[in-house]
Amino acid sequence: MLGAVRASRHLLKTLSTALRDVPEIIADPLVELTAQGLGNRPAAQQWRNLVAVDLSFYKSFMAEEIRDEGRSEGRSEGRSEGRSEGIAQGILLFLARAGIDVPDEARERITTCGDLDTLNRWLLRAPTARSAEDVFAEE
């Protein structure tokens, strides 16, 4: 069984490499047919990984799907990071507006927190805080 896995890995790698030098009009259908032929076997994920290594020369549907998945994940992560940064800035603005000194440790704790629920709790406490530590109360 292990020999068959190695053989399929080698064959898929060889096919992927060979398709780099083939015109798109031929390579694209072969990429798709290979993916369809592998179905849901473990080698199918291996094929996706091989195609994902250098997507610049693949214009097939599967390659586009892999690129779109990566873009979507990146956008989602970016939105979450942006929300975290915005809430952290809001907390710091509330504290600054109240004339509260924010020690470096507290500032770092706020700006590096990536948990939106925690940041939202801190944001709700910030307007009534009398010190930076009040923001972290009950934790």
Per-residue confidence (pLDDT) for residue 66, from 0 to 100: 61
Domain assignments of the chain as residue spans, ordered by start: 2-59, 79-135
- For residue 40, the 8-state DSSP code is T
Q: Both tokens of residue 25?
A: 């009009």
Residue 29 to residue 121: CA distance in whole angstroms: 52
Q: Both tokens of residue 122?
A: 């801190």
Look up tokens 């704790």; give the residue: 109
Residue 12 to residue 26: CA distance in whole angstroms: 17
Which H/E stretch holds residue 89? helix 61-97
Per-residue confidence (pLDDT) for residue 111, from 0 to 100: 92
Residues of the chain with pLDDT under 70: 1-8, 22, 24, 28, 47, 49-80, 139
pLDDT digit string, tens, across residues 18-56: 777 767 677 767 777 777 777 777 777 776 766 665 544
- The model scores a pTM over 0.85: no
Residue type, 9: R
